[in-house]
Amino acid sequence: MKRAVVVGSGAAGAAAAKALQGAFSVTVLERGGEFRPLGVSLKFVERLKRLGVLFDERLTGVLFPSMRIERTDREMIHVRGLGTGGTTPLATGNALRLDGNLRALGIDLDPEFAELGKEIPIHTDHRRLWNPVTEQVFETCAAMGLGPRPLPKMSDPARCVNCGRCVLGCPAGAKWDARHFLRDASERGAQVVTSCRVTGLRVEAGRAQGVVARRRGRRVFIPADIVILAAGGIGSPAILENSGIPCRPTLFVDPVLCVAAEWPEAMQNMDIPMPFVVDKEGFIIAPYFDYLSYFFNRAWKPKAEDTLSLMIKLADDSRGVVSKRSIRKSLTPADRERLNGAVRLCHDIFARLGVPKERTFLGTLNAGHPGGMLPLTPAEAATLHSPALPENVYVADPTLFPAALGRPPILTIMALARKVCRTAAAKFA
């Protein structure tokens, strides 16, 4: 049987492994280890915060090895999962279909979304779990004519204990993540290799012979008949750049910024993150307790249970670069204008709740969903393959997205990855 190497085990990689196993003998290479939820108590982390030990967000990896934080520039950081399941065990489990830009190119993902809808538990039956303050914020947004709507979640509502730890690794096993697809592929024979950092492709005569990686301090070569790059919007371009295959300076990151205020007994830290969304042109707003800002941002002084926060997720301009050693991405003037407008809307919501602007404070600006450095074009709608790539190398992650979504992309990533792998299998199986 022919061999397929899938680089990355997150939303794209797990979906690719499940789609390919059987037609190929699949090996999934994951840079991190087995995912583990945050192992220390939040009270312990809070004590470290009060002692001033948590002075840099990049220290998160010491407490939480499954999370990696890097700086994109002086004003923004990038957060990603590093372990089986990629970032999905740290996500809020939203299930949105966001393929409008792809459909405009002539790419039809209807079959893939239909299949995912049957394989993943997706529902909006969680409003009964919201705490009173979340319900109050929802009603306030509705009264303002903002049209809030509950977000569909990938989870089993019967198992949810409403602990607020979705983004730290669901302790109840209620939230669906990409490890389910990894297990499906493994049960059918796929091999998942952890702690294996792919550094590049070995290409001869326009065809990849396999990938080069580092594992346990040694350089290794893994042969393959096809290679699927699913290491994410940062990881896949870095591998291509290391292989002498330049990508485009069109990185987007869906910047995230939270606006917060002290609210006695808000208990947002014990509620479903992003339970509903206000959808505006160029950005969304949703309630979200920002652990990153709470632990590391000195402006976040109130206790966790007394903090109320609104998340802004921005669809940013595609102007950024991943090089061999760094991520260069800043907000453009247009990005700043949209972000400032979103902040003003958050201030308006807080004002309707009785909290004046001067009592609010901002969180840490972070890069939410990177992608776009090898965007698909209409000419590639049928092949889903860039002419810049070796003939048997496919990218199957947000690197292919034509533009920023400014919304949670996991479901769309999996649908596209499945489509890419079917296209690759039809040619090379």
**Residue 326: its pLDDT value, please?**
80
Tell which of 343, 367, 391 closes a domain: 367
Q: Are strands 153-154 and 122-123 parallel, antiparallel or unpaired?
A: antiparallel
Compute the distance between CA of residue 377 and CA of residue 105 in angstroms, rounded to an integer.
Answer: 6
Task: Give the domain range for residue 67.
Answer: 51-78+125-165+255-367
Q: Which of 395, 354, 348 is nearest to 376 (CA)?
A: 395
Residues 11 and 160 grouped into a single domain: no
pLDDT band at 377 (very low <50, low <70, confident <90, very high): very high
| 45 domain residue, yes or no | no
> Tell me, what's the pLDDT at 78?
86
Q: Does residue 363 share a domain with residue 380?
A: no
> CA 174 to CA 176: how far, in whole Å?
7
Query: Is 211 among the domain residues?
Result: yes
Q: In Å, how far are 34, 35, 133, 262 from 306, measured between CA atoms?
A: 34, 30, 11, 6
| H or E stretch at 406 | none
Domain co-membership, 341 together with 412 = no
| Same domain membership, residue 198 and residue 158 | no
Tell me the backbone φ, ψ of residue 82, rounded to 5 degrees: -135, 90
Place of tokens 């792809």: 102
Which one has a higher pLDDT value, 364 or 58? Answer: 364
Give the pLDDT confidence score for residue 55 in this predicted structure. 59
Pinpoint the alpha helices (H) of 1-52.
11-20, 42-50
Strands 207-215 and 218-223: antiparallel
What tokens were used for 46?
């809070």
Which residue type does 308 have?
A: L
Q: What SS3 class is residue 336? A: helix
Enter the tokens of residue 290: 């920002």
Same domain, 261 and 336: yes
CATH number at residue 198: 3.50.50.60
pLDDT tens figures, 4-47: 999 999 999 999 999 999 999 999 999 999 998 877 777 787 78
Does the pLDDT at position 50 exceed 90?
A: no
In the prediction, which pLDDT does 59 show?
Answer: 66
What percentage of the chain exceeds 90 in pLDDT? 83
Of 318, 335, 367, which marks where a domain is finished? 367
Q: Which of 342, 367, 392 is the last residue of a domain?
A: 367
Helix (H, G, I), strand (E, B) or coil at 424: helix
pLDDT bucket at 234, cuts 50 / 70 / 90? very high
First to last CA, the chain: 9
Residue 62: is its pLDDT beyond 70?
no
In the predicted model, is pLDDT for residue 410 greater than 70?
A: yes
Averaged pLDDT for residues 173-201: 97
Residues 214 and 357 in one domain: no
Alpha helix stretches (DSSP H) within 161-252 = 179-187, 232-242
Q: What's the whole-model pTM score?
A: 0.96
